């Protein structure tokens, strides 16, 4: 008995061949000259008349033969697809992570859905904002966010001062240089808040997502390795369609 993964492996090729056969039949049926034949002979009116050779054109394409070839290609496609789809109803496997069964007897279509969704979710998790590692953070119950410890900083104001470089004399005025001095005038107390996540939490989520995705993939491969029954749907369907 074949296995589901073997049927999946050949399905693409069968689809391609049936599509090619249908395309070939369609193209040839669009050429009326290939479907037409001719046979004619000439007989002069009397024995002294001109003799002309007979003419004939052979029919190169027979629509019934094209139908037969298309039917054979489609029968194989119908059978392979039926075998796969019926098997997908029965092929099941457990999703197990670290010895814990999270999902029992999951069918293949659902495992494929999970694999796609978890792959997208992994990309989402990798874009989660992370708390600035340069700060020390703690949870703040009042705002349900993360906060830093208060940091006190000085607020200053520039006050002009005069620096006498040279005292005034009888002949020269004093030489005075103006400079500015920062004088403390108050204090800022700053607390930063953030809705981001600790790096530990993000790494934990990514690790769990990877474990779960691997478990789903393993379950899919296990289900696809199950032995299945060959289905013969094409003959009945296409036999009715193309039958005489």
Long-range contacts of residues 232-239, Cβ cutoff 8 Å, at least 24 apart: 232/79, 232/82, 233/78, 233/79, 233/82, 234/74, 234/75, 234/76, 234/77, 234/78, 234/79, 234/82, 235/75, 237/78, 238/71, 238/74, 238/75, 238/78
Structural domain of residue 173, as residue ranges? 150-190
- What's the average pLDDT block by block, 10 residues per block, for the chain (244 residues)? 82 90 87 86 85 88 86 91 86 93 92 95 96 95 94 92 78 82 93 96 96 95 85 88 78
Burial of 206 (0-12, 13-18, 19+ CB in 10 A): middle
Q: How many domains does the chain have?
A: 3
**Does 69 reside within a domain?**
yes
My answer on whether 157 and 211 are in the same domain is no
Burial of 207 (0-12, 13-18, 19+ CB in 10 A): exposed
Give how far the C-alpha of residue 115 lies from the chain's centroid of Cα atoms, to the nearest Å.
Answer: 10
My answer on whether 129 and 17 are in the same domain is no
My answer on whether 202 and 96 are in the same domain is yes
Q: Say which residue the tokens 């050429």 belong to.
A: 31
* pTM (two decimals): 0.66
My answer on whether 71 and 1 are in the same domain is yes
My answer on whether 100 and 221 are in the same domain is yes
- Give bridge partners of residue 163 from the DSSP assignment: 177
**Does 145 reside within a domain?**
no
């Amino acid at each position: 008995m074949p296995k589901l993964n073997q049927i999946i492996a050949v399905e693409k090729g069968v689809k391609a061949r049936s599509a090619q056969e249908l395309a070939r039949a369609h193209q040839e049926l669009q050429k009326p000259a290939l479907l037409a034949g001719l046979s004619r002979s000439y007989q002069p009116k009397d024995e002294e008349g001109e003799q002309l050779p007979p003419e004939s054109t052979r029919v190169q394409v027979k629509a019934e033969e094209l139908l037969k070839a298309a039917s054979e290609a489609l029968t194989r496609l119908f059978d392979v697809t039926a075998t796969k789809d019926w098997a997908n109803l029965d092929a099941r496997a457990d999703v197990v992570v670290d010895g814990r069964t999270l999902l029992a007897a999951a069918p293949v279509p659902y495992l494929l859905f999970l694999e796609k969704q978890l792959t997208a979710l992994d990309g989402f998790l990798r874009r989660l904002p992370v708390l600035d590692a340069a700060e020390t953070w703690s949870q703040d119950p009042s705002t349900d966010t993360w906060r830093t410890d208060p940091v006190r900083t000085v607020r200053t104001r520039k006050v002009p001062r005069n620096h006498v470089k040279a005292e005034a004399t009888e002949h020269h005025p004093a030489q005075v240089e103006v400079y500015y001095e920062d004088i403390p005038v108050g204090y800022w107390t700053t607390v930063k808040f953030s809705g981001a996540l600790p790096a530990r939490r993000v790494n934990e989520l990514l690790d769990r997502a990877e474990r779960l995705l691997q478990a789903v993939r393993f379950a899919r491969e296990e289900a696809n390795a199950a032995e299945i029954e060959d289905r013969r749907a094409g003959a009945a369907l296409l036999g009715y369609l193309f039958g005489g």
